Each structure stands twice: as structure tokens, then as C-alpha cells.
Amino acid sequence: MTTNKANELYDVVLTNGRVIDPETYMDGQFNVGIKGGQIMAVTKDTLKGKDVIDVSGLIVSPGFIDTHAHGQNILSGRVQAYDGVTTGLELEAGILPINEFYDNCAKEGRAINYGCSVGWSYARLVTLCPELAVNGKPEPQMGFMFRNLGALGWVEGKAEGADLEAMLDLIEEGLKQGGIGIGVTWGYAPGATLTELDRVWRLAAKYNQATFTHIQNLSMVEPNSGYKNHIELAGLAAATGAQTHICHLNSTSLRDIPRIREVVKNAQAKGLPLTTEAYVWGAGESGIGAAEFNPDDIRERLAIDWSDLTLVKGLHTFSSKEEFVKARTEGPGDSVIVHFLREDDKPEDMALLDMSVLYPGACICTDAIAWVQPDGNFYYGSEWPIPENLNNHPRATGNYTRFLRIWVRERQVISWMDAIRQASLNACLILENGCPQMKKKGRLQVGMDADIIVFDPDTVSEKATFTNPRQLSVGMKHVMVNGTLLIRDEILDTNALPGQAVRSPITA
Ligand SMILES: [Zn+2]
């Protein structure tokens, strides 16, 4: 709250909403004044504005922050805005070169705030397979990594000696250019050893940055289990002091979540810098050529059957190993959805999903990739509405609104306050040590960035499904990014691209 500036004329005033700030636990009816892209007043007093919007009966909160947004483009941002997301960061896979990524985004414009970590896999790919580089460099978008998932040199090879040093140099250059930590998709290059990762972790620690890891083994089978990897990550955090963020705890834990959660909880209780995130589905999605989709033992490792795997292109569900192998050989970069839990049908699976989604201090993320074209390639255009022939996992469209509908409104297993905290502030608490810009997000307070959402608690809901992921969420009435109304009365302003860069300190 602040003293009322009765004579101040604000750019936008939101009146009579139920204003929730997850940091101070403020929850009450206030007026919010926005000016110059910042929140300038939160008060019971009447405010004057050039644009005054009555938001009675609606919740006003900080916009949601997605720590795991692979779809770094205009369309993905617009669709995510309907889900309440005002900042989407590509931290797990990361990208290289960092300057090129940020320059491209600034040139094209973005609907929501954007940013990325330094892509370890990109550095590894061009170091171990230099013939795959484009003009001697990685290409700064995820399609580069996806289309090279079948190149075993960087997937299975070891980075040692001069290779290791060259790879570390590329990563360090990215950190100097302000990449938000280091994204380590270990499961996509399972050949990497702990010796290599130890060096990567020490580099992160040197720059006071975090690592964001997709674990090496998508497996519940010993000796190469995900359980083992989580113990290794706790060990790397202890050995190097680098903040160690475990990506999508829900998906890579599979049905081992009860004991993996204990590892994370006990490591945190001992003061280790371990953090985590989860999305709200028991189904993941990635490139079918990824090492972890090795068909020889995928059913045992994940405790699933072929019918739990669906090719996004054409939404084809598999029925045999032969079919799966054929699709994997023909298009290793094609996206496949894998149902490791069936939470909509089985209460025991929902209980497993709860263990990560509701984990205290974790943040809600999406892991959503860019929209997929009929030929399997990613779509980077900006047509609106979403072209009819594009596909995706419904988490790209309705992850946060699904969280609000199911977990808060219907099941009532978490309060609005705590859900908003899980979806906004927690990401800031995880990131702001290395990326101070995040100190001004995730809070509805005077002096904070005006990334604000206004939604109807009675109707807010996802509409996207696996068969039609293009249906936008409903109930997200107004979405403001840096003080600009990107969505007003649930209508997108197609001229607005108010997203700004989120970046760690630049040292070179
Ligand atoms: Zn991942």
C-alpha cells in the first residue's frame, strides 16, 4: 500500500478488484494505479486515470512467470497471455548465442517478457559435432537442437580435454552476455559425465548463476535411475555451491516422486541450494528422437505402454514398437506426447502429481514448446488467431488456468493466495539472486513492474485439450505487460508487443 497521490493522473487505474500480493499476503479490495510501466499506487482511495477499468468481483494479481517456456516467439507468448503468463523464460534447454537470441527477440518484438539461459547442449553440440554448426555457430532456437537429436556424437560422446575447455568457453561467453544461468538438458546428452557437469556447475557458481537441469535418466529402473540423478544433483549443489534447479519435478520423477521429493526436501533442510518446478499434467512432450525415448526399454523405464505415446503431428497414438521405431527413424525431431500418469482418471495418479505441483517453494512452469506445423517443424510466425493446422501439448495454452480451476476452485487443495504465489512469486525467489530484474516481478506492490493479470475466480479455466490444444483459456479478463494492456476484456491487442528482455547482469 502507499499514500494516495490524489492529484496524480495514472495511465491506467484498476478499481475495486480483489488485489492479492503473494509476498506481503495482502488480500483485499483496493484500487491500483499504473504509470510508466510500474505499479505506482495500491490504495483504498479513489485514483484518477486516463483509463479507468472497473474490475469488481475479479482477482488482481501479479502475472504468472513460466520458468520453462521453450516457445520463445510471438504466437507462444500471446497464447500464454490468455493463460495469465506475463513472463516466459527458456531456462531448461537454454539457447546460444545469447546476444543473437536477445537481439532477435527485440527486433521482432514479443507479447510477453522473455529471456533464456545459456544452452549447455548447444555448446556441446557444436563442440562435439562441429559439422552441425550453422555458419560456425549454434542456431539460436530450439529447432536446432531438436533436428540434431539423432546425431549421436554430441548425445553419447564425452566432452574431455580440449573439447571440454572449448565447450566451457562457449558457455562462459553466454554467461558474460547475460544468459540467466546454464540450462543443462542432461537427458538429451546422457553421455555427459559428472566430471563434465562439475566443471559446468563451477562455472555457474563463478558467475553467481543457477543451473537448470533435465536429469540424465528418465527411468525408475536401477542402476541408471532418475532417483540416482537427484542424489547426484544434490551432490553437485553441495560440492560446488551453485544453485541447482531441478526442472519439471513432476515429469522426470515418474512414479518415483515420493522418494525423490524426500531427497529434495531433506537436501533443502540441510541448506543446499536446490530448487524445483512442476507443470500440472501427468503427460510430457519432447522430440521422439531424444535418448530417453529409446524404444528398447522405454516401457519398463517409464512403466507405460505404446498407447501412452502420441505423435503430435497428426495426433497419432502408437500401438506397437515397430510403429514407434519407424516414426523415430523418419523424424527424430518430431514431437511426441507421453502419458506417464493418468491423473484425470486415476485418483492415485493425481495424488502423485500433487506431490510436485504443490511442493512448497516450487514454481509452476509449462515446459511448452513452440507450435508444431503439419510437417513436424516449429512455427515461428505471428498469425492470429492460432492457425488451425498447428498442434501442441495443451500446457502451451492452459497450464495455469487448469491449475486455478482444478487445484484451487474445484478440489480446494490450495488457496488463491498460495496458488498465485506458486505461479508468480516463487519463480522470482528462485531466480532473483542471479537475475536481479526478477526482484521487481511476482509482486503486486508499489514500485514493481506492472505485469498484472485480472481474472474471474468463478470461471477461469483452461479449454485446451490434447485433441484441440488451440482453444484459448477463458476468464483471464485483462492482461497487462509492463503497463500495457495486451488483453482487454479477453480480446488480444494484436498491435501490442510490450514484452521486454529479462537478463542476468552483462559483464562483456
Ligand atoms: Zn525437459
Domains of the chain: 9-61+445-492 (2.30.40.10), 64-293+338-435 (3.20.20.140)
pLDDT tens, residue by residue, 15-71: 999 999 999 999 999 999 999 999 999 999 999 999 999 999 999 999 999 999 999
Q: How confident is the model at residue 7 (pLDDT cuts 50, 70, 90)?
A: confident
Ligand 1 center from residue 188 Cα (angstroms): 9
The CA 367 to ligand 1 mean position distance, Å, reads: 7
Res. 2: pLDDT tops 70: no
pLDDT digits 0-9 by tens, 416-469:
999 999 999 999 999 999 999 999 999 999 999 999 999 999 999 999 999 999
CA of 75 to the centre of ligand 1 (A): 21
List the one residue out of 156, 93, 154, 101 whose CA is nearest residue 125. Answer: 154
**CA 502 to ligand 1 centroid distance, Å:** 21
Q: Do 234 and 262 touch, CB atoms closer than 8 A?
A: no
Say how many Å lie between the CA of residue 214 and the centre of ligand 1.
5
C-alpha of residue 468 to centroid of ligand 1, in Å: 23
Q: Which DSSP string corresponds to 292-348?
A: GG-TTTHHHHHT--GGGEEETGGGEEP-SHHHHHHHHHH-TTSEEEEES--TTT-HH
Per-residue pLDDT averaged across 243-267, rounded?
A: 98
- Is the predicted pLDDT of residue 112 greater than 90, yes or no? yes
Residue 97: asked if its preceding bond is cis (omega within 30°), the reply is yes
4: confidence class by pLDDT, cuts 50, 70, 90: low
pLDDT in tens, 116-169: 999 999 999 999 999 999 999 999 999 999 999 999 999 999 999 999 999 999
Contacts of 468 (CB under 8 A, 6+ apart): none
Question: Is it the case that residue 3 has pLDDT exceeding 90?
Answer: no
Q: What pLDDT, on the 0 to 100 scale, is given for residue 6?
A: 72
Q: Which of 49-58, 256-265, 372-381, 497-506 has the lowest mean pLDDT?
A: 372-381
Ligand 1 midpoint to CA 51 (Å): 42
The rounded Å distance from CA 185 to ligand 1 centre is 7
- Please give the distance, rounded to the nearest whole angstrom, from the Cα atom of residue 252 to the centre of ligand 1: 8
C-alpha cell at 271: 541448506
CA–centroid distance, residue 339 to ligand 1 (Å): 14
What DSSP element (H or E) covers 492? strand 491-492
Ligand 1 centroid, distance to 285 Cα (angstroms): 8
Range among 118-127, 284-293, 371-380 with highest mean pLDDT value: 118-127
447: exposed, middle or buried (Cβ count in 10 Å: 0-12, 13-18, 19+): exposed
Mean of the per-residue pLDDT values for the chain?
97
% of the chain at pLDDT higher than 70 = 99
DSSP character at residue 421: I
Distance CA 291, CA 247 (A): 17
CA distance 252 to 260: 10
- What separation in Å is there between the alpha carbon of 28 and the centre of ligand 1? 38
Q: Is the pLDDT of residue 210 over 70?
A: yes
Distance, CA 493 to ligand 1 centroid (Å)? 32
Burial of 357 (0-12, 13-18, 19+ CB in 10 A): buried
DSSP secondary structure letter of residue 413: -
- Predicted confidence at residue 5, as pLDDT, reads 67
For residue 63, report the distance from its CA to the centre of ligand 1, in Å.
Answer: 23
Residue with the bigger pLDDT between 183 and 2: it is 183
Instruction: State the distance from the centre of ligand 1 to the C-alpha of 215, rounded, in angstroms.
Output: 8
Helices and strands in the chain: count of H runs, count of E runs: 16, 21
For 46-98, give the DSSP string: --EEEEEEE-TTSEEEEPEEESBB---SHHHHHHHHTTTEEEEEEEEEEESSH
**pLDDT for the residue 282:** 97
Q: Which three cell numbers stand for residue 82?
A: 490468455
Ligand 1 center–CA 438 separation, angstroms? 23
Residue 100 has pLDDT above 80, yes or no: yes
pTM here? 0.97
From the CA of 383, how far away is ligand 1's center (Å)?
27
